[in-house]
Structure 1
Amino acid sequence: LNWQWTAGTGTDTNPNRIFNPTVQGQRFDPKGEYVRRYVKELASIPDGSLHTLGPLERAALGYPDPIVDHHEAIAEYRLRRA
């Protein structure tokens, strides 16, 4: 049923539920074990900084900027959903 929950079609449907990947990472993977396992470029980042890297830190690591601005995407979603 996980795919149904993720798609917002399961028994706990909430079409307006919007997950913030940064907050989810801080809440459920505060030490960054998942990120370090799958994103090798970020493996050496200290625990407290892993989920909050700014543009300068990303550039120093050669890590790309986000493709989507989460806050802009939420605002656009809410405008279209209204």
Structure 2
Amino acid sequence: MARIRLTVLVRETWRDRYPLVVEHCRQAGLAVERELVAVGVIAGSIEEDRVPGLARVEGVSAVEPERVNRALGDS
């Protein structure tokens, strides 16, 4: 299965337990690349088939796949 890059949003009510959510995401298979504590975001990559388990981590409000943005004229 392919690895995908994604962003995990931490539930507002779990912001005070941000490190715990990060650890549980790691245990679910997320390779954490960036932690944006102030906004409650975790960025990383995971095997595509493990995304549903990541979405069920307590304290996670959303899991969003990375979007590729291209400038006009780029192919």
Larger radius of gyration: 1
Q: Shared topology, TM-score over 0.5?
A: no
What's the TM-score, normalizing by structure 2? Answer: 0.30
What's the TM-score, normalizing by structure 1? Answer: 0.28
Q: Which has the higher strand share?
A: 2
Q: Which has the higher helix share?
A: 1
